[in-house]
Amino acid sequence: METATFGAGCFWGVEARFRQRPGVIETAVGYEGGALENPTYKDVCTDRTGHAEVVQVVFDPAAVGYQELLDLFFDLHDPTQRNRQGPDWGSQYRSVVFFHSPRQEELAKAAIAALTASGRFGRPIVTQVAPAQTFWRAEEYHQKYLEKRGAASCHI
Specify if 75 maps to a domain: yes
Please say whether the beta carbons of 12 and 71 come within 8 A.
no
Catalytic-residue membership of 10 = yes
Q: Across the strands, what pairs with 67?
A: none
The residue annotated as part of the active site, out of 10, 14, 97, 156, is: 10
Question: Residue 154 falls within a domain, yes or no?
Answer: no
Domain of 132: which CATH number? 3.30.1060.10
Q: Is 32 helix (H, G, I), strand (E, B) or coil?
A: strand
- pLDDT tens readout for residues 83-108: 999 888 999 999 999 999 999 999 99
Model confidence pLDDT, tens digit, residues 30-83:
999 999 999 999 999 999 999 999 999 999 999 999 999 999 999 999 999 999
The answer to whether residue 65 is domain-embedded is yes
Number of domains in the chain: 1
Q: Which long-range contacts (CB under 8 A, 24 or more apart) does 147-154 make?
A: 147/16, 147/19, 152/16, 153/13, 153/16, 153/17, 154/10, 154/12, 154/13, 154/16
Q: How confident is the model at residue 152 (pLDDT cuts 50, 70, 90)?
A: low
pLDDT at 154: 63
- Please indicate, yes or no, if residue 156 is contained in any of the structural domains: no
Angle between helices 11-19 and 66-76 (to 10 degrees): 140
* Whether pLDDT at 151 is above 70: no
